Amino acid sequence: MTDDTTGSLKDLQDIDLRLEQLRSRASEFDPLLAEVEEPSLALEQEVVTLKNRLQEMKVEERRLEHSADDRRARWKKLEERLKSVRNLREEAAVRAEMDLMRQALEGDEQEALTLLDQIRRMEDRLDEQQAALDQAQADVEPRRLQLLEEQKSVMEEYEVLKNKREQYAGLVPVHERQDYERIRGGGRSVAVASLTPDGACGHCFGMIPLQVQNEVRRGATGIACEACGVLLSSGDDLA
């Protein structure tokens, strides 16, 4: 087995390290986007709250209008009844009911007027907050679009490199790839390192026995550093 195969492992490691960098970079975008959008989020929530409250108030205002219309209709019926009363007792009863109806109608009308005034003021407040929200979103839009474009670029590079990694891994002998994956699967980023010119492990810099150095320099693969466990290569240390 030649050192070219170990070189392939080191190239595979380079790909994996780059994938880790891209994953780390990709994870940074959501917090950055959240930070950029934060100034407008409070305004957006207030706009939503105002819209919901305004809708509720308009529903209540319509209810009061319907109630007032109903009381007016009943008032007219009482007026008609008043014309046909047969004695003072009936007249007094009808007038008493009309007084109650008038008071209730005046209450509905006053409440509706108060509510209409509140609605107008809330609509003005909503217009102000919507304008502030539009401005806040416009202010951060260039930066937001820049971050989204960078995020897209990172994810595209990641997908391309991930596909390349799958293809490249197939070029590495199975047993060597298994050793490599086993080391990386233990939570370590570096699985392959080169010997230094003075015969040390390029990862932990512990000295390698001379006999082992010679085997590695002759191109043997699958030999691990006894100190740190990484696979040894004779080439320049790319880890």
| Model pLDDT for residues 91-132, shown as the tens digit of each residue | 899 889 989 988 988 988 999 999 999 999 999 999 999 999
Instruction: Give the pair of three-digit tokens for residue 9.
Output: 């492992």
Q: Does domain 21-169 have CATH number 1.10.287.1490?
A: yes
pTM of the model: 0.62
Residue type, 39: P
Domain boundaries, the chain: 21-169, 174-233
Residue type, 191: A
Compute the 3-state secondary structure of the chain and give helix, strand, coil in percent, each to the nearest 5: 75, 5, 20
* 8 A C-beta contact, residue 5 and residue 144: no
d(CA 24, CA 65): 60
pLDDT for res 25: 96
What percent of the chain clears pLDDT 90, i.e. is strictly above it? 61
Residues contacting residue 91 through CB under 8 Å, at least 6 positions apart: 82, 85
pLDDT-wise least confident of 27-31, 138-142, 182-186: 182-186
Closest CA to 95 of 73, 75, 71: 75
* 8 A C-beta contact, residue 116 and residue 61: yes
pLDDT band at 187 (very low <50, low <70, confident <90, very high): confident
pLDDT for res 125: 95
